[in-house]
């Protein structure tokens, strides 16, 4: 089954404790992206990747890091999480940036 898999689905943690949200896709997609979704603000792009080893900032990259060492994986790293990063996060992938994206089921992060 074609899918984008995110882990964990839910996480409650504390300020400053490094965390990684994993994302994996099995569709051989070139393009991958991370979004956060907050009430009243809609979906905002954090980082995206056009291909392996090619990443770039989206609209809200501050406080986040990403890497793309393999085509299928695109982890999101919060080096020193803060409460304002409490949000619902989505990973997405597509064949190219002008093709419709497939989304994961989301990761709900709470930073205390």
Partner 1 sequence: EDQVTQSPEALRLQEGESSSLNCSYTVSGLRGLFWYRQDPGKGPEFLFTLYSAGEEKEKERLKATLTKKESFLHITAPKPEDSATYLCAVPPSGGTSYGKLTFGQGTILTVHP
Region 54-73 residues binding partner 1, contact defined as CB under 8 A: 56, 58-59
Compare residues 28 and 99 and give the one whose CB is closer to partner 1.
99
Q: Where are the alpha helices (DSSP H) in the chain?
A: none
What is the rounded distance in angstroms from the CA atom of residue 37 to the CA atom of residue 34? Answer: 10
Q: Write down the residue that tokens 């956060």 correspond to.
A: 36
User: How many positions of this chain bind partner 1 (CB under 8 A)?
Assistant: 24
Task: Please check whether residue 98 is in contact with residue 72, taking contact to mean a CB–CB distance below 8 angstroms.
Answer: no
**Among positions 22, 45, 73, 110, the unique one binding partner 1 when judged by CB under 8 A:** 45
Region 73-112 residues binding partner 1, contact defined as CB under 8 A: 88, 90, 92, 97-106, 108
């Amino acid at each position: 089954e074609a899918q984008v898999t995110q882990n964990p689905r839910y996480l409650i943690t504390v300020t400053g404790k490094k965390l990684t949200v994993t994302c994996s896709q099995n569709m051989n997609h070139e393009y991958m992206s991370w979004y956060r979704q907050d009430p009243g603000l809609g979906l905002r792009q954090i980082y995206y990747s056009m291909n392996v080893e090619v990443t770039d900032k989206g609209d809200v990259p501050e406080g986040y890091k990403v890497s793309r060492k393999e085509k299928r994986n695109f982890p999101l790293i919060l080096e020193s999480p803060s409460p304002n990063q409490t949000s619902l996060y989505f990973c997405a992938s597509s064949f190219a940036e002008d093709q419709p994206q497939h989304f994961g089921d989301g990761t709900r992060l709470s930073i205390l």
